[in-house]
Amino acid sequence: MDEIRPNSGAQAHGLVPLFPPGLQAIYGECRRLYPDQANPLQVTAIVKYWLGGPDPLDYISMYRNMGCAAQDVQEHWHYVSFGLSDLYGDNRVHEFTGTDGPSGFGFELTFRLKREAGETAPPTWPAELMQGLARYVFQSENTFCSGDHVSWHSPLDNSESRIQHMLLTEDPQMHPIQTPFGTVSFLQIVGVCAEELQASQQWNGQGILELMRGIKVAGGPWLITDMRRGETIFEIDPHLQQERVDQGIETEGSNLSGVSAKCVWDDLSRPPDDEEDSRSICIGSQPRRLSNKDTEQIRETLRKGLEFNSKAALPPISSQKQNHDRAQSRKDSLESESSAAIVPHELVRTRQLESVHLKFNQESGTLLPLCLRGRLLHGRHFTYKSINGDTAITFVSTGVEGAFATEEHPYAAHGPWLQILLTEEFVEQMLGDLHELGSRDEVN
């Protein structure tokens, strides 16, 4: 990546605009906020993604924001990405699907970083952070929503900072825009400590963000990240954990409906020497894959969270894609035409299993109490989606509609997707067995 100062004044002089329409639309929103910064310092991908480069974001603009004295908002640097939405409209990066839906992935990223005394130019490390998040979106085709969390496990600026994870929220100043290629919203990255990430997982990201807005050193009203912050919000105000977070978990549960994880499941219903044993995750040399319908259902499961107003429900497995709030599948979901041919017909039928063996890495395992207490005891569901393949494990309660696991057959599989139905009594028993995973001390 390299830094440039773009010349964006052509249109003001009545000339033909030099920038593509999607790019101009985002620039227009930036100019509304920063009319005196027409040529901001900018980081650009030297080789564009659509030319084979590694960086999906064509540009990241960096503005000096003077804050707002009336709201006690401090001066800071404001970063805005260009590339997650459709900038060009010619299918070079994003498939153009019309003006009514989202443009590209439907959002751009922003970030607000506290300006340190004496700084005359913005640090450029947030640009690489935003590129990293963009690579995840492009490679996984999973979009972000306000309230989502990102487990980063490393100081965001590669220092010794405690700010090692991220939450996402609506940018407080940048409004959603309509471009010639669809709508674009602006999601702001907010740096958080490990304890704040854990609380957002156990309760919900929006609740933690609201607590941070009330504490100036933790971000204040505009959620400005301070990489030198040495205390969590719970150390600053010890009453927040018990009075807000613990009470919120007890009364509301968690709105985290799933995570990407390292996980596998084994079918113990068949002997190990059975060639059809589903404990083997491969058929010959070809990995099993989720069908389009399974993939779309899991994505809906992860996306919906607490959006269900009544009883929790999984989208019916037999339904076609009906979600008009998102762009149509960009690569026919996770399954290609070639992969469909290698999946035997019997694997896409629902199978009832007698017993299963689940394996999780430590981070995924520590989320099991959250899954049980924060989700299933509140009549909801929780999905672990493997980052190493198409394996998925969904825990469902008896109140979830549309699940293929039932009280009569609590363990059921649809290809590599396993569903496990747990009764309230069984959940309570498991919580007792997993008690140590829920402790705040380090688990060995």
Helix (H) or strand (E) holding 134, with range, is helix 125-140
Non-local (6+) Cβ contacts of 84 within 8 A are 56, 57, 104, 105, 107, 108, 109, 134, 137
Where residue 220 falls (left for φ over 0; alpha for ψ -120 to 50; beta otherwise) is: left
Residue 6 pLDDT > 50: no
pLDDT band at 8 (very low <50, low <70, confident <90, very high): very low
Residue 82 pLDDT > 60: yes
Please give the pLDDT value at position 401: 87
pLDDT band at 303 (very low <50, low <70, confident <90, very high): low
Mean pLDDT confidence for 237-251? 92
Query: Where along the chain do its domains lie?
Result: 21-252, 255-270+348-439
Phi, psi (5° rounding) for residue 199?
Answer: -65, -35
Global pTM value: 0.78
Q: What is the mean pLDDT of the chain?
A: 83
Tokens of 38: 């027409």
Q: In whole angstroms, what is the distance from residue 190 CA to residue 169 CA?
A: 8
Please give the pLDDT value at position 105: 97
Distance (Å) of CA 72 to CA 32, 34, 46, 435: 22, 19, 38, 42
Tokens of 82: 């260009």
In CATH terms, the fold of domain 255-270+348-439 is: Gyrase A; domain 2 (3.30.1360)
Please give the pLDDT value at position 316: 43
Residues 98-155 have pLDDT tens digits of 999 999 999 999 999 999 999 999 999 999 999 999 999 999 888 999 999 999 999 9
Out of 52-61, 308-317, 386-395, the most confident range is 52-61
Q: DSSP letter string over 42-78?
A: EEE-SSBGGGT-SBS-SEEEEEEE--BGGGTBPPEEE
Please give the pLDDT value at position 330: 37
Please give the pLDDT value at position 137: 95
